[in-house]
Structures are given as C-alpha cells and as structure tokens.
Structure 1
C-alpha cells in the first residue's frame, strides 16, 4: 500500500492544480490591473460620423420605417457563400454607431478570426460598445491573446461561457480531470451564434469564426449558411444575448485562473500583429467592405422583404433543466405541422429519440409528407464517428421514417464555394507538427495549426480540420482527422442547418437536429413564414442535393438468395446497442447517370426508373478504404451509446 502513496499524492496534486481558481483577493487585484491599463481614449469624437455607410444597415432603416405595430416589416438575406458571410460581418461592424454584440461557439486565431477581431477593436476605439461571448472550449487559443484583450479598451470586453475548471484553456490532462469530476458541466456548451449591430441588424446560422467557414482554408471548407435579419425582431435577439451575457456562467477573461495569473505575474501584454497567411486576401476583404456599391450588388440587392420574423432560442437555464419550451420543441412542432413536404438539412444525421418518435408517427399519416434530408457523406464529413451512427441507422431512416436522403460529395460540382479564395493553388511549405514562436520575449510552444511565422519564415499552415463538437476532440488526434480520399482537392463538408416546411416556412439556425442540440447545447434559429423566403431557402437546399453535389441513398439490390434472412439479421443487428457486425447494409449510395432515356431531373428511389438511371457507387464513395473505414464499422457496431454526446 505504501508504494501507491506517492502516486496518489501526485494525482491529488494534479487534481488540485487543475481546479485551482483565483482567490477573491486575486480577483480584486487582477480587476485593478486591467482597469488601470484599459485605455479609454477614442479615435473619433463622434462615433456616428466615423461609422461607414452600409447598404445592409440601410435595410434596417427601411424595415423600421415600413413597420406597423401589428405588421412588422423585415428584410432577410440568405448568406450561402463564405466570402459573402465574412464581407457582411466586416461591413456591418464598420457601420456600427452604438453597440456590437457577438456570441459564438468557436473563435479562432487564424486569418478570418483575427480580421474580425481587428475590426471589433477598431469599432471599440471609435466609441462603440463591443461585447464578445465565446464558449470556453472553443475560444481563442492563446492565454496571451486573452490577457491582451482583457485590457484592450474600455469599450471592449470578452467573456467565456461555462469555463471548465475555472480556466480559459485546458490541456489534455486537465480535460481528463474535468471529464472525471464534472462531465455533465463539461458537456454543456453554448452553441448559439449571433452578431448584433445597434439592435437593428442580426446574423445567425451555422458559421463560427474560423477560416473553414469563410472559404479561406486551402484544404477543407464548410458549405454553410447564415441568415441576416434587419428589423424589429433583432430586439428579441438582443434580449437573448443579454440573458447569456449576464448569466453566472459567462466569466470575464481576466477572472479565469490562467489568464488572471498571467496578468498578475507579467502585466497586460500587447496584442501582437497577426501574420496573415495571405495578406492580399485580407486587404481585399477590407477594401470590398468599404465599398458600398460592392456590398449593395453582392449582398443587399438580394435581400427579401418579409413580414413577421420569429427568433427561437434556448436560454442559459436550459443547463439547469429549465421547464420551458426549448428550441428542439419548437422545431419539432414546425416539422409536425407539415402537410406534404419537409426539407431538412443537417451535417450530422443522428436523431434524438423524440425526433424518431415524431417521424414514425408522421410516416403513418395519410397522406404522409415527404421528408427530404440533405446531409454529409463519409467522404465529406468532419466527424466520421458521428457518420458511423448515421450509417448504422440507414434502414430505419429509409424504411421506418420514409426519408429520401442525399449525402454531400467532398468535391461538389456546383457548390456556393469561392474556390479562388481558399488559396489552394498558392505554394506553401509542408505542415510541421509544432513550431516555436516568440511572445513577450519568451519561447512558447504553439501548435502548428496556426499560421505563425518563425524568424521571418513563410507562415505555416494549420492542420485542415477543427471539429465543431470539440467536447470530443481530446479523445485522440486521430478521431479529428478526415478520412483519406482517392483524389486530392479542396474538400467541402456540409455544415448548414436549415429547414423548409411545405414551401411556406423557412428556418435557418444553429441546431443540428441531433441529441446534443436537444440535451446539452444551447441552440437558436430564425423562423420566417413567407412563401418567397421559403422558396429561396428551398432552392438553396435543392441545389445541394442536385446530382452534381450529392449522392442519393437507396435500398441496395437484394441478394439473389436468402434476401429475407439478410434483411432480418441486418435489422436485428441495427437494434442492438453493440455487436452489430452483420456485413451487409440495407442501403448504399447511388449516382445519377443522365442519358437520352434518363433526362434530368433524376427519378426518386421509389420510382420505377430509379435503378435504370442510377448506378450504385458503394457505401463510402470517394473514400480510400483503410483504417478509417474499419473504425467506421467498429463505431457502427459499438457506438450507439455515444449518440447523445455526439
């Protein structure tokens, strides 16, 4: 027993160090340090005069002018292209005169993240109140950056949501400690995403602040969607942000143990200039954002005039088991209202039990509504473990729920992606496993997924993928890598979360329609009941499921013998939480083959000409079969119990 005491003591020391927070005295001291160093001087005597004109901001003025107490007017703009979504953000930040509120799940220190951060700081310095709220697990990676931002300006404040172990950053071993001591808290994340300008214009949707979401990654980008809303409904978004900002889970960065101790030891560091991987691209974005004609032509001209807009959102009290109608309840009620068609887009097709019960009941209706699902293929997804569960339940989705499923291709032929902006054709050095950078005259180990120049060298490129469900990212480095493909290119993965009901209601939000959104994450969405808007949103989703961009999933050909036994054993295996090793699956992927006898549009899986006009391309098309395919099979067999957290 004696020999275990040193190990037990070491483990206890690690646990105590992981959980060590600032004392009340240290909190007062660090607040004083920050208050003393925060500048309050303004770069502009009159913020309204220094704000840049914005056709997007003008949409709000029109909306308020045209609104009546019982007949509100709004303008809605679907942001499909990543570069347009970034352009809208930069332009709106520059137009702000009083307040900017930003809430997000991921805020990275790559090119797009630093560009937005610089614009926010510039707004604060000209007199705009800027508040930034980021989920702790996905916040800015460097403690030095957070320390610098804590005292950047009197008008600028950053808070982190639900900081595990009272820290801004946690290492792998600290994550293990957190998972052991407080897994439920660790798993409860803020997935809500908002950008609010002067209480008049808001943006919400799937995008975080990272190059992958704005077509700025040279190897992998998300096909995502945001919605810009201008008009009275932004007041509801503002109130929701305020609930999060004032919640006890939202902690000023200087009061977190690692940031606070850094400030007490070394004072407030300067925020070093960012070394852009592609400076010309960032400068072009700044230039376009300052050009009102460009913003009007690319963005504002496409805005759709609509009536009432409803914003649905989970509050922070969802984590306390708050008894109220959640975003999941609201979305299920919308789906249940469908008469003839549900058009659903989600990157991760893993349904919660309430959602499965709902779709089973809808399947029994007469007439039953068609449910069309757009989601990721294994080749396109950023979360192959999650895909494995989707793969496991394909028979259930197709046969029991009546879904028509389309899986996004990794190299879509007609996607709203700005390939030229990715920089894929630019020469770059091979990625390194780690680099050393100089910060405050000290050598700091920093992962190479950030493009940090070393001794004047060419900026290094970060690894191409960062999973959104970061609560599982510490399991191993391997699970966060994409599956290998048979060919090279800029890979695209679906990340949009949208819904269209009967061509009359359109929904854009943050909810993946999955168990995490039901149980753990806070989510939000904008609901617009307007035929013109619903048609535009449906057209965007239908473009994603076109043959050039997606494979269709359908029943595979029956085996020549014992087909009934094969089906029955596959169904039994699917129903088991483990040991699902039956080698064949009910469904596989099909590619449309147009021709004189098969003109577009392609026939649906239940139509007689389907097999004549489609060819099977296997369960995992475009994937170079290897270890990841084996892992997919393993998680198909054993991973059902992980569904709630994945």
Structure 2
C-alpha cells in the first residue's frame, strides 16, 4: 500500500512538469509573426465616424455628456431584463461604434448568439473601429481553429485570454489535475467581470455572458439574468477599469498560448470557419431588428431613465497578485452599501451562500432596534444550475429565515411571468414553439449540456467545463452538479441576476454573487446608481421575480403538536456540524400561494393568515430526483467545507 501511495504521489508531482512543456521563445515569435502577417489591413470606410450605423443607444451618451457638468454628471440608465433586448442592445452599440469597442467577459461560446456578436465585432474592425476582446481562459471559445483565426483576422481586432492554465487556451483533464496539485489558488482565480464599453461613452455591465442561455435562446435551460446600460461619464471609469485588465500580465495575446501557437506554426493562420447557426431564422430576425432604428428607439432608448451620479465598483486584477489594498475593492463597496441600509434591502442572487463578512453584516443589521426588512430572491433546487451550491442554501435555511429574518423566495423552473419575448427569439419556459425539436427542447437534461444539444461524449464534457458555475475540474466531473430532473417539459429557467436595492433609493446591478467565491477568488464588478426612480424600477423587476407565480415563499413549518422545541434544538445543533446534517424535520420549507375569495392577495410570511392562504409544497418542489434526493442531503451534510471554492 505504501508503495502504491508513493507512486500516486510521484505521478501527481510529475503532472505540473508534463503540463508545462512549452515552445521556445523563437517558436512563439514565429507564431506571432504568422498571425500578424495574416491580418487583413483593409479598412472599408474612410469617414471620420467609421461609417457607424445610427444608434439610438449610442446617441444617449451625447445627450448625457451635453447635460453634464464636472461636479454634476448626468447619465441615462436602462435595465436590460429580457435576454433578447440585451442582445439587441449589444448589436446596436457595436454597429454604432465610431472609435473603439472593448468587451470583457467570463464566457464566450461559439453558439448562435455568441457568433452573432463575434461577426459584428469583426465587421466593426473592418470599418476601422479598434476592437479589444478579453475572455477568461476557463470559459473562452473552446475551438483552437477559431482562436487561431481570430489571432490573424484583422489588424483592428485584438483578443487576449485571462489567466490561462499553463499557457493553454484549451487545457485537458491532465492540465486541470496538475493545476489543482501544484497551484490551486493561482488557477482558480478567475475574471468574472462582464463589460461592454463603446467609444468611452456608453457601457453595459451585469450578469450576462456570451452564450445562448443568457439571451433566452437555449431550448433546454435559460438564465433569468439582468444587465444595466449606462450612457455618460461613468463609461470612462468602466473603460479605465478594462484597461487595467487588458494591460495586466495575466492577459495573454491569443497567439502566445501554446496550443494556439502550435496550430499557427503547423498550419498557418486559418480562415474563420463560416457560421452555421442552429436557428438561422432567429439570427436573421435579430439582425433585422438591430438594423431597425425605430424599433431600437421604441424598445430600448425611449425607456432609459435620466439619472445623476453613477459609480462603477470593480475589483482590479491586483486582487489576484496578493495586493491587499486592492483585494475585494468591489466587495468592500457593496458591504458598505449594505451596512448603510435603514428600511429595506432587496437582494437577488442565484447562489445564497453567505461569506463570514456578509453574515456578520446581516447579523448586525438584525440586531438593530429597528432592523431593515431583508427580502432575498434566489434559486430553488429545481431552478438552479448548481445543485451542490444549493445544498448549502438548503442547509442554512433556518439561519436565513429565523436568525437573519430574511423574507426568502425561491425561483421556479417554469415561472408564470418571466421577462422573455418570443418576438426576439426567446423560448418561453415550459412552452416550446410548435414544431420544436423535442431533442432540443427538453427539461430533464439527462447528462446533456446547458448550451443545448451539442452532441455527446467528449463534446458535452467540453461544454460543461465552460458553464458559469463550474469553474473547476472537481465540480465538472460529477453528474451531481448539473440541473436536476424536474416535473414538467419544455425549456426551464434558472435565476442568474445579481442585483440589490437599498431603501428604494440605491440600485445595484453587477456580477457579484455575494458569496465567498466572489469575495476571494473572482474579480467582480457592479454598477451603483443612487436615484429613486431607477431604484424603484429595479425593485419592481425583482418583485416581479418573487411574485407567487414565479417563486415559492420560504417560511417556517407549522409547529408539530409535540416535541417542537426538541426538533428545533436538534436541527440547530446539527446545522453547525460540517460532517452530519441528516435531520429530516427542517425548520422552514417552501410554500405556494392559493388564491381564492378569502385570499385575494399574496401575504407576507409573518401574516397571521399565511398558513390559511399558502400550502406547503416541500423542500424540493417540482424536482424529480429519486435517489438523488439522498445525495443532495449528503451534500448538505458535507458541503460546508466547500464554501471557499463554491
């Protein structure tokens, strides 16, 4: 046995050396030269505005700058709730760019929506617009040919990859295993920021990546997400923050990655493979919508709210260099906002896993003589894309409801009133379009990927490595960390929005999940707008998500007739144990509203008539788990130790 252990240890220690086999400096220089020589230098437009298309959203920035003074900035802000509108806004801004487009993201896929954006970026570069794209390596385009093609596509397009594992664009399982063995913290530090800035004048920030399921275009599982568009002086702060990442040593030009460089050396710079959309009709409809200035003005620009000061709270890449002064810069600002709350906090997060710091803040708020009301919108097990993380939410329900006093709501997988628009190609939860391919529009996801039916076997494994909530091999390798089977058919939704409203005065939209991973491992960003009208609009959006048809209410169970005190005490003691928590009688569970003559309106859980108007639907409503329910409870027992990396 000792000899076997020594062999395993020796193999583990050898992994980093095997993973680090690299090219010589001369070979890297040759690969870079091949990419540079292949780049098209032709510019299609000689006009000063680079032949930009009329953009109602870009025009908002001109109005904001004209109304601003050095000590009194003015902005326009637009909440992007619908996935189709969020994609439409991006296309409109890219087409309207006159000088520069900077895009920063955690995930960039190669599906219909991502390829549509990529083609628009290339078209902007050919017009003469400077385009810079920065993608976190863990979730970058999983196709070496496309990456090599982009390295040599055009002189005005630059692509860099953030924190590549062992200098690779596409690591395999050996490389991931090596990174865990040799340097887990370094390779687990990810750039979770999502930002699009055009001409230093208008920006979009929020939760959405570049993948179909963020724009309601996936036939299996879509994210209910949220961005905010900001036009005006704050875009300059967004641009400055982007520049910090672009210039950071962890941001590597794509041609300098070992596997991309090797392809360039062996085959030269390939041409970009032609787009092969799965739904060409939808792509063409979106392109037509982006060309319709009146439509963009009516659906988007006319709804933008005039606001005053806007702050962009964003971590710097120094957070990943051990600079304590900059670590948690974004998180610190959000913590200060929470601590200042007086009457109410509306918090929306897909993963309710509180860090020690956040737990301390909420306990201090709760201890006040008049504590603010705290309303939390999060995922149910049926809606989440990450069951392992949900196990921790489930484990601490008593603490959230009883000790912290949260009014907690869990999102349904088939919400009755989701913010989706079929006119922009959206799949409505539970209602696939007539004639839809049942292999694409299914809810059970028996080992399939979140990005749609992209094949099987190794291709599905690749896709899972690039989903938002599985940034390590440890969690992608288990079937347990995929959306669970549910009762129902058609595509479902899972909450992904990260937002907050404080005292109906301050609105926050960003990437921060308010969890330990966001504070420690990821870099994050958030837009903060101190404006009552914007805060009310954001509050209305969150309150729509927690309406009875869209979410279940979490509330204490009816007290059992006997031994209620003993049941509570045992559950509380076991909750503190990281290794055993199988107590079957939980303090709180999920409830559904039953409207009727005596219950015309939804009630808060503290209302004396609550149990008359609500029916308990169990801890895991609409989940078809079978044996997996036992596994979830086991994760509840042992999952506490995983908090730092979840």
Q: Under TM normalisation by the shorter chain, which class is it?
A: over 0.9
Q: SS state of the match for residue 22, structure 1?
A: coil
Distance 2:171 2:549 in 1: 42
CA displacement at 1:355 relative to structure 2 = 0.5
Residue 428 in 1 paired to residue 437 in 2? yes
Q: SS state of the match for residue 644, structure 2?
A: coil
Q: SS state of the match for residue 112, structure 1?
A: helix
CA displacement at 1:6 relative to structure 2 = 9.4
Find the counterpart in structure 2 of residue 607 from structure 1.
607
Find the counterpart in structure 2 of residue 132 from structure 1.
133
Find the counterpart in structure 2 of residue 435 from structure 1.
none
Residue 45 in 1 paired to residue 46 in 2? yes
CA displacement at 1:464 relative to structure 2 = 9.7
Residue 416 in 1 paired to residue 425 in 2? no
Find the counterpart in structure 2 of residue 377 from structure 1.
380
Find the counterpart in structure 2 of residue 441 from structure 1.
none
CA 1:477/1:268 → structure 2, altered by over 3 Å: closer, same or farther? Answer: farther
Find the counterpart in structure 1 of residue 354 from structure 2.
351
CA displacement at 1:332 relative to structure 2 = 1.1
Find the counterpart in structure 1 of residue 446 from structure 2.
none
Cα displacement string for residues 603-623 of structure 1 (whole angstroms, at most 9, x for unaligned residues): 211111111111100000000
RMSD of Structure 2 on Structure 1 (CA): 2.4
Contact 2:61 2:75 in 1 (8 A): yes
Distance 2:537 2:224 in 1: 17
Q: Which runs of 5+ in 1 are unaligned?
A: 432-446, 455-459
Contact 2:221 2:450 in 1 (8 A): no
Q: Map of 1:613-624 to 2, 5 A cutoff?
A: 613-624=613-624
Find the counterpart in structure 2 of residue 94 from structure 1.
95
Contact 1:137 1:470 in 2 (8 A): no
CA 1:614/1:6 → structure 2, altered by over 3 Å: closer, same or farther? Answer: closer
Find the counterpart in structure 1 of residue 490 from structure 2.
489
Residue 332 in 1 paired to residue 332 in 2? no
Which stretch has the larger CA shift, 23-32 or 243-252? 23-32
Distance 1:453 1:473 in 2: 20
Contact 2:191 2:524 in 1 (8 A): yes
Q: Map of 1:70-81 to 2, 5 A cutoff?
A: 70-81=71-82
Contact 1:591 1:616 in 2 (8 A): yes
Distance 1:593 1:583 in 2: 26
Which stretch has the larger CA shift, 322-331 or 501-510? 322-331
Distance 1:514 1:453 in 2: 33
Find the counterpart in structure 2 of residue 437 from structure 1.
none
CA 1:405/1:11 → structure 2, altered by over 3 Å: closer, same or farther? Answer: closer
Find the counterpart in structure 1 of residue 391 from structure 2.
388
Distance 2:450 2:356 in 1: 40
Q: SS state of the match for residue 199, structure 1?
A: coil
Find the counterpart in structure 1 of residue 229 from structure 2.
228
Find the counterpart in structure 1 of residue 145 from structure 2.
144
Find the counterpart in structure 2 of residue 538 from structure 1.
539
Q: Which runs of 5+ in 2 are unaligned?
A: 441-448
CA 1:26/1:49 → structure 2, altered by over 3 Å: closer, same or farther? Answer: closer
CA displacement at 1:471 relative to structure 2 = 1.7
Find the counterpart in structure 2 of residue 548 from structure 1.
549
Residue 633 in 1 paired to residue 633 in 2? yes
CA displacement at 1:9 relative to structure 2 = 8.4
Find the counterpart in structure 2 of residue 193 from structure 1.
194
Distance 2:466 2:376 in 1: 24
CA 1:134/1:144 → structure 2, altered by over 3 Å: closer, same or farther? Answer: same
Find the counterpart in structure 2 of residue 404 from structure 1.
407
Q: SS state of the match for residue 471, structure 1?
A: coil
CA 1:464/1:9 → structure 2, altered by over 3 Å: closer, same or farther? Answer: closer
Q: Map of 1:87-126 to 2, 5 A cutoff?
A: 87-126=88-127
CA 1:591/1:58 → structure 2, altered by over 3 Å: closer, same or farther? Answer: same
Contact 1:220 1:464 in 2 (8 A): no
CA displacement at 1:295 relative to structure 2 = 0.1
Distance 1:512 1:428 in 2: 34
Distance 1:490 1:451 in 2: 12
CA 1:178/1:329 → structure 2, altered by over 3 Å: closer, same or farther? Answer: same
Contact 2:220 2:450 in 1 (8 A): no
Q: Map of 1:502-513 to 2, 5 A cutoff?
A: 502-513=503-514
CA 1:430/1:531 → structure 2, altered by over 3 Å: closer, same or farther? Answer: closer
Contact 1:196 1:238 in 2 (8 A): yes
Using structure 1 for the length normalisation, give the TM-score. Answer: 0.93
Q: SS state of the match for residue 645, structure 2?
A: coil
Cα displacement string for residues 593-640 of structure 1 (whole angstroms, at most 9, x for unaligned residues): 11111121x221111111111110000000013233222101100000
Distance 2:360 2:10 in 1: 50
Find the counterpart in structure 2 of residue 317 from structure 1.
318
Q: SS state of the match for residue 49, structure 2?
A: helix
